Homo-oligomer: A and B are copies of this chain.
Amino acid sequence: MHRERYFTLSASCPDRVGIVAQVSGFIAEHRGWILETALHAEPPGDGETVGRYFMRIEIKADSLPFMLTEFRERFRPVAEGLQMEWKITDSAVKKRVVILVSKQEHCLYDLLARWQSRELDIEIPCIISNHDTFKGFVEWHGIPFHHVPVTRETAPRANAEIQRIFEEVGGDTMVLARYMQIVSPELCAAYPGRILNIHHSFLPSFVGAKPYHQAYAKGVKLIGATCHYVTAELDQGPIVEQDVIRIDHSDSVEDMVRYGKDIEKAVLARGLRYHLEDRVLIHRNKTVVFR
């Protein structure tokens, strides 16, 4: 992110001969300098005859004779010929990330440290919480803080309010940084592939509430965390990143909570970075992650 300005083309299309040749040929024709390329051919699923091809290409911005608007226009025929779903983004345009938190501090401190040092080179137009615990901390960083309390009764209104704020600030991505509230199906439907959650278990084990208690009861020897896109089905969205940490019989649920925080924040930060750098492409209920 501390490199020169670049464009990121991410795309997928039905697999066939010559995809890379066409796309890289287009770029070369305009003297575009490729910084990084990642490609993946997904084999056909059951009952399918054609697989799907995924790509992510970084191009040095000043190597091209035009900017994104013209790139999009000129590239469109190539993309259409390949039946491509695609987008291209500009590293100079910072993504706008709205963070939702509850009363746990670890992911929030971690994300703000990365933002403060510009490791995460994003705009944080606001932080939303159902508690006011971190109001002062957030505002000290110069970031607006919205307190949107949630009870069982007010949940629909709270979700609508969150959506209103997100729209108002022009959010690109919503991050549930241990937000601990279930996001409404409406919100999920409004922003598919744009809401990231960190779940405190190694999914698909221990879905739902109190996963560390479930892990303790089961006697597992490793606990984990999962960063995934939020969909209407609880903790079932496409997985972006996971990790685990070793525990043993001497560890209480409280110890697990403590160890777990360290992987939660690391996994969320990695998953968010992949997402922000357009490294994640969703395919059915899975992800291609070009690390």
Residues of A bordering B, CB below 8 Å: 2, 17-18, 20-22, 24-25, 27-29, 31-43, 63, 104-106, 108-110, 112-114, 116-117, 119, 136-137, 140, 202-206, 218-222, 224, 238-244, 248-250, 252, 254, 258, 261-262, 266, 269, 285-289, 291
Known: A37-B39, A221-B241, A222-B202. A20 touches B24 (CB 8 A): yes
The complex is assembled from copies of this chain, and their number is 4
The answer to whether B17 and A37 have CB atoms under 8 Å apart is no
Separation of A36 and B42 alpha carbons in the complex (Å) = 10
Per DSSP, chain A at the interface is mixed
The answer to whether A219 and B286 have CB atoms under 8 Å apart is yes
Q: Which residue of B lies closest to A103 (CB)?
A: B117
Separation of A286 and B214 alpha carbons in the complex (Å) = 13
Contacts of A206 in B (CB 8 A): 204
Known: A43-B252, A140-B140, A239-B220. A105 touches B109 (CB 8 A): no
Known: A119-B261, A249-B288. A63 touches B17 (CB 8 A): yes
Contacts of A108 in B (CB 8 A): 113
Contacts of A136 in B (CB 8 A): 140
The answer to whether B17 and A31 have CB atoms under 8 Å apart is yes
Separation of A25 and B104 alpha carbons in the complex (Å) = 43
Known: A28-B17, A43-B252, A105-B117. A239 touches B258 (CB 8 A): no
Q: Which of B28, B41, B204, B254 contacts A34 (CB 8 A)?
A: B41
List 16 extra interface pairs beyond A204-B205, A248-B289, CB under 8 A.
A2-B254, A20-B20, A21-B27, A22-B28, A34-B39, A35-B41, A38-B39, A42-B249, A43-B252, A105-B113, A106-B117, A109-B112, A204-B218, A220-B242, A221-B242, A221-B289
Contacts of A254 in B (CB 8 A): 2
Q: Which residue of B lies closest to A281 (CB)?
A: B249
Separation of A42 and B251 alpha carbons in the complex (Å) = 10
Separation of A109 and B117 alpha carbons in the complex (Å) = 11
Contacts of A269 in B (CB 8 A): 262
- Can you sample 15 A-B contacts with CB below 8 Å? A17-B32, A20-B28, A21-B24, A21-B27, A22-B28, A34-B41, A37-B39, A105-B116, A109-B112, A110-B113, A119-B258, A202-B222, A221-B239, A249-B287, A249-B288
Separation of A54 and B123 alpha carbons in the complex (Å) = 35
The answer to whether B63 and A37 have CB atoms under 8 Å apart is no
Contacts of A25 in B (CB 8 A): 21, 24-25
CB of A1, distance to nearest CB on chain B (Å) = 8
Q: Which residue of B lies closest to A267 (CB)?
A: B221
Separation of A169 and B236 alpha carbons in the complex (Å) = 49
Known: A41-B36, A250-B40, A261-B119. A285 touches B21 (CB 8 A): no
